[in-house]
Amino acid sequence: MNIKKAAQATDLPPKTIRYYEEIGLVAPARSANGYRDYCEADLHRLRFIQRARSLGFSIQQCRSLLSLYDDEHRASADVKALALEKVGEIDRKIEELRSLRATLSTLVAHCHGDDRPDCPIIEDLAGA
C-alpha cells in the first residue's frame, strides 16, 4: 500500500508519516521502485501513534507506549503509570491556564472598554 492510501487509512498526512519514519517510529518496506509499501502491521502502528498523539502524548511518550505495545510480556502497570503521568501533566497545564485566565479576566473586568485611552490592562502590563 502506497503512502497516500496509508494516509487515508490512518488519518495522518503523508508528510507526517514520512516524518514518523525519519524519527524511527514506523519503517515500512520499500517496493522495487523505491516507494514505501505499508503492510497491515504498519498501519496498526500508525493508527496507534495517531490515537496516542491525539490524547496528548508526546513523540517520546509514544515511543514508550509503542515499545509496551510491542512487548507481549508488558505489565499493564507500566502503561498505567505513563497514562497517569500524562494526566498529571494535563492537570498542571489546566491549573496554569486557569490561573492565567483568572488574572486576565480580572484585568478585563476593570477595563471600561470604550474609546478613551486610559486602560487598566495596559497600566498593569506597564507595571503601574
Q: Note the residues at the interface with its own copies (CB under 8 A).
A: 44, 47-48, 51-52, 55-56, 65, 68-69, 71-77, 79-81, 83-84, 86-87, 90-91, 93-94, 97-98, 100-101, 103-105, 107-108, 111-119, 121-122, 124-127
Three-state DSSP class for residue 36: strand
Q: Which residues of 94-110 are buried (b: 16+ CB within 10 A; e: fewer)?
A: eeeeeeeeeeeeebeee
Q: Which does 25 bind (CB under 5 to 8 A by kind): DNA, its own copies, none?
A: none
CA–CA–CA angle 121, 124, 128 (5° rounding): 135
CA–CA–CA angle 92, 94, 99 (5° rounding): 95
Q: Which does 10 bind (CB under 5 to 8 A by kind): its own copies, DNA, none?
A: none
**Residues of this chain that bind DNA (CB under 7 A):** 2-5, 13-16, 18-19, 32-36, 53, 58-60
Contacts for 108 with CB less than 8 Å, ≥ 6 apart: 121
Q: How far is the CB of 52 from DNA (least distance, A)?
A: 10
C-alpha cell at 43: 498501519
Q: Which residue lies nearer to DNA by CB, 58 or 106?
A: 58
Q: How far is the CB of 31 from its own copies (least distance, A)?
A: 26
